[in-house]
């Protein structure tokens, strides 16, 4: 068994390395080309990236730059839509990704409303499309922890998820694979998005996109969740739409705000630091006002999104020392990355 060691022993440091860290966006490097909705990224120790792609599968990007799309097979749901807006509502839309224990790729498909598993050759099958007798809903993200437990988030049960972008709706939930089926283990979230566990897997952290905050729950030894609370500010600020999150080895929780295009981090004490702010203030303000009036529509929503990673959606630590930070997005064509001030927290698939 081999586990990638942290490049920096944060416990020995007197100061948190992110406190005096800044990003020069003009010095960012980029990986990949002509990607379609590279929302989620998985990194392997050899430097390979596996990237969700709206064409119905994943793109494998090797360290030498070789890029190959692997399209899911054996499904009648995989096909493009005519417009950008409709593509986000109907058809295949691979969103969250996780490696299964055997190396297969588990796909939270936001378009087909199913959790799918695909081999690295593209053979795909449905792992779950119903839960507790109902359609699963807009399955968003999937996480496998060190105990090989599989967790998923469902943002909403509303088919057209744009109608769920409102402050008074909290139908999101978290489910876990238990005894051969998924069961709901926590619910009542405002558009449940990415989830992560801390180093000891004592807490599960949840990005609540329309709640504008990060919440967390205590994880018991048998996988039950309890003691829900907000971690950090009760609101991450105007235009705060938290999407993707990931821990570094110092306990900082990095994240993105999708429609305002911000890259941020919360320290272990819950203090907020914003490293990139790429959003258009006027369009972000218009979306915020529409959201508070329950009037979000395609026009106001799709007017947002610009900068180095339009509709900034996820953060992934990779590279041999886990100190390269990649930024996923919903509308970008390539992946910006930079040298992080601390290595990332190793995920389950980094243990061999």
Tokens at residue 145, please?
A: 């922890």
pLDDT at 265 over 80: yes
Percentage of the chain surpassing pLDDT 70? Answer: 91
pLDDT at 78 over 90: no
pLDDT at 9 over 80: no
pLDDT at 208 over 90: yes
pLDDT at 12 over 80: no
Instruction: Supply the mean pLDDT for the chain.
Output: 91
pLDDT at 5: 40
Band of pLDDT at residue 352, cut at 50, 70 and 90: low
Band of pLDDT at residue 74, cut at 50, 70 and 90: low
Band of pLDDT at residue 179, cut at 50, 70 and 90: confident
Write out pLDDT tens, residues 83-100: 444 444 457 899 999 999
pLDDT at 4 over 90: no
Write out pLDDT tens, residues 118-168: 999 999 999 999 999 999 999 999 999 999 999 999 999 999 999 999 999
Measured CA to CA, the distance from residue 92 to residue 41 in angstroms comes to: 17
pLDDT at 302 over 50: yes
Higher-scoring residue by pLDDT: 77, 44: 44
Count the Cβ atoms, other than its own, within 10 Å of residue 352. 8
Considering the domain 10-350 in this protein, what is its CATH number? 2.120.10.30
Spatial contact of 248 and 254, defined as CB atoms under 8 Å apart: yes
Band of pLDDT at residue 6, cut at 50, 70 and 90: very low
Secondary structure of the chain in HEC code, one letter for each residue: CCECCCCCCHHHCCCCCCCCCCCCHHHCEEECCCCCCCCCEEECCCCCEEEEECCCEEEEECCCCCEEEEECECCCCCCCCCCHHHHCCCCCCEEEEEECCCCCEEEEECCCCEEEEECCCCEEEEEECEECCEECCCEEEEEECCCCCEEEEECCCCCCHHHHCCCCCCCEEEEEEECCEEEEEEEEECCEEEEEECCCCCEEEEEECCCCEEEEEEECCCCCEEEEEEECCCCCCCCCCEEEEEEECCCCEEEEECCCCEEEEECCCCCEEEEEECCCHHHHHHHHHHHHCCCCCHHHHHCCCCCCCCCEEEEEEECCCCCEEEEEECCCCCEEEEECCCCECCCHHHEC
| Domain segments of the chain as ranges | 10-350
Write out pLDDT tens, residues 103-118: 999 999 999 999 999 9
Q: What is the pTM of this model?
A: 0.93
Write out pLDDT tens, residues 314-335: 999 999 999 999 999 999 999 9
């Amino acid at each position: 068994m081999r586990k990638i060691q942290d490049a920096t022993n944060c416990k020995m440091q007197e100061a948190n390395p992110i406190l005096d860290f800044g990003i020069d966006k003009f010095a960012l490097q980029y990986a990949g080309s002509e990607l379609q909705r590279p929302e989620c990224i998985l990194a392997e120790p050899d430097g390979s990236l596996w990237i969700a792609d709206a064409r119905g599968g994943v793109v494998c990007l090797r360290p030498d730059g070789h890029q190959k799309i692997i399209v899911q097979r054996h499904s009648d749901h995989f096909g493009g839509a005519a417009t950008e807006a409709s593509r986000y509502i109907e058809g295949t839309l691979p969103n969250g990704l996780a490696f299964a224990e055997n190396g297969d790729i588990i796909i939270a498909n936001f378009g087909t409303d199913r959790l799918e598993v695909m081999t690295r050759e593209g053979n795909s099958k449905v792992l779950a499309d119903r839960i507790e007798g109902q359609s699963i809903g807009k399955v968003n993200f999937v996480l496998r922890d060190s105990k090989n437990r599989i967790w998923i988030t469902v943002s909403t049960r509303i088919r057209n998820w744009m109608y769920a972008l409102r402050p008074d709706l909290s139908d999101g939930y978290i489910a876990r694979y238990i005894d051969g089926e998924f069961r709901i283990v926590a619910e009542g979230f405002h558009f449940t998005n990415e989830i992560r566990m801390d180093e000891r897997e004592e807490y599960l952290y949840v990005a609540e996109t329309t709640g504008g905050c990060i919440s967390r729950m205590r994880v018991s030894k048998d996988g039950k969740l309890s003691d829900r609370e907000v971690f950090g500010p009760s609101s991450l600020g105007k235009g705060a739409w938290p999407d993707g999150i990931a821990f570094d080895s110092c306990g900082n929780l990095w994240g993105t705000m999708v429609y305002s295009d911000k890259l941020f981090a919360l320290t272990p004490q819950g203090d907020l630091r914003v490293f990139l702010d790429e959003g258009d203030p006027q369009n972000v303000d218009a979306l915020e006002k529409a959201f508070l009036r329950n009037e979000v529509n395609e026009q106001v929503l799709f007017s947002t999104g610009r900068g180095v990673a339009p509709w900034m959606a996820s953060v992934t630590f990779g590279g041999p020392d886990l100190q390269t930070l990649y930024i996923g997005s919903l509308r970008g064509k390539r992946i910006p990355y930079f040298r992080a001030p601390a290595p990332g927290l190793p995920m389950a698939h980094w243990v061999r």
